[in-house]
Amino acid sequence: YQYNNRYAGDQVFRITLTNDTEVQALKKILELIKMDFWQPNSASLIHRNATVDVHVKRNDTQRLHARLKLEKIKYRMLIADLQKEIEKQTGYRSSRKRR
Amino acid sequence: SESQYDYEVYHSLEEIQNWMFEMNRSRPELVTMLSLGKSYEGRPLFVLQLGKRSCLQKKSVWIDCGVHAREWIGPAFCQWFVKEALSTYKYDSVMTRLLNHLDFFIMPVFNVDGYRFSWNTDRFWRKTRSKNHKFHCRGVDANRNWKVKWCDEGASSHPCDDTYCGPFPESEPEVKAVAKFLRKHKRHMKAYISIHAYAQMLLYPYSYKYAAIPNFNCVESAAQNAVTALYSAYGVRYRYGPAATTLYVSSGSSIDWAYKNGIPYAFAFELRDTGHFGFLLPESLIKPTCTETLKAVKAIASGLLKKC
pLDDT digits (tens, 9 = 90+) for B81-130: 999 999 999 999 999 999 999 999 999 999 999 999 999 999 999 999 99
pLDDT at A49 over 90: no
A81 to chain B, any CB pair closer than 8 A? The answer is: no
Q: Which residues contact B203 (CB under 8 A, 6 or more apart)?
A: B240, B241, B242, B243, B246, B247, B255, B267, B268, B269, B270
- Closest-CA residue to A51 (of A33, A73, A81, A32): A73
Closest alpha carbon within chain B to A11: B277
- Furthest-apart CA pair in chain B: how many Å? 56
- A17, A23, A38, A41, best to mutate vs chain B, most B CBs in 10 Å: A41
- Give residue-wise pLDDT tens across range B11-27: 999 999 999 999 999 99
B115 to chain A, any CB pair closer than 8 A? The answer is: no
Which of the two residues, B3 and B36, has the higher pLDDT score? Answer: B36
Residue A73 to chain B, least CA–CA distance (Å): 19
Q: How confident is the model at residue A97 (pLDDT cuts 50, 70, 90)?
A: very low
DSSP secondary structure code for residue A58 in this structure? G
Question: pLDDT value at position B133?
Answer: 84
Question: pLDDT value at position B122?
Answer: 97
pLDDT at A35 over 80: yes
Question: pLDDT value at position A96?
Answer: 40
CA atoms of B271 and B74, how far apart (whole Å): 8
Question: pLDDT value at position A91?
Answer: 64
pLDDT at A45 over 70: yes
Residue A47 CB neighbours (<10 A):
12
Question: pLDDT value at position B96?
Answer: 98
Q: What is the mean pLDDT of residues A73-91?
A: 92
A8 to chain B, any CB pair closer than 8 A? The answer is: no
* Residue B163, SS3 per DSSP: coil
Residues of B in contact with A38 (CB under 8 A): 124, 198, 275, 278-279
- Give residue-wise pLDDT tens across range B187-221: 999 999 999 999 999 999 999 999 999 999 999 99
| CB neighbour burial string for B94-107, b if at least 16 within 10 angstroms, e if fewer | ebeebbebbbbbbb
CA atoms of B295 and B243, how far apart (whole Å): 21
Q: Give the CA count within 13 Å in the CB-facing half-sphere of B162.
A: 20
Closest alpha carbon within chain A to B123: A3
Which residues of chain B from 190 to 229 reach within 8 Å of chain A, CB to CB? 198-199
Q: How confident is the model at residue A94 (pLDDT cuts 50, 70, 90)?
A: very low
**Percent of residues, chain B, with pLDDT higher than 90:** 93
* Residue B110, SS3 per DSSP: coil
B267 near B204, Cβ under 8 Å?
yes
Question: pLDDT value at position A44?
Answer: 85
The sign one gets for the Cα dihedral B1, B271, B111, B265 is positive
Question: pLDDT value at position A98?
Answer: 46
Question: pLDDT value at position B250?
Answer: 86
When the pLDDT of each residue in chain B is averaged and rounded to a whole number, the result is 96
B152 to chain A, any CB pair closer than 8 A? The answer is: no
- B72, B246, B248, best to mutate vs chain A, most A CBs in 10 Å: B248
Question: pLDDT value at position A90?
Answer: 79
CA atoms of B289 and B296, how far apart (whole Å): 11
- Give residue-wise pLDDT tens across range B179-188: 999 999 999 9
A95 to chain B, any CB pair closer than 8 A? The answer is: no
CA angle at B267 for the pair B265 and B269, rounded to the nearest 5°: 160
CA angle at B100 for the pair B73 and B55, rounded to the nearest 5°: 120
CA atoms of B171 and B167, how far apart (whole Å): 7
- Give residue-wise pLDDT tens across range B130-176: 998 888 999 999 999 999 999 988 899 999 999 999 999 999 999 99
Question: pLDDT value at position B182?
Answer: 98
Question: pLDDT value at position A93?
Answer: 54
- Closest-CA residue to A9 (of A70, A55, A71, A68): A55
Question: pLDDT value at position B2?
Answer: 66
pLDDT at A42 over 90: no
Question: pLDDT value at position B4?
Answer: 87
Residue A22: enclosing H or E segment and its boundaries?
helix A20-32
Q: Which residues pair with B106 in a beta bridge?
A: B48, B63
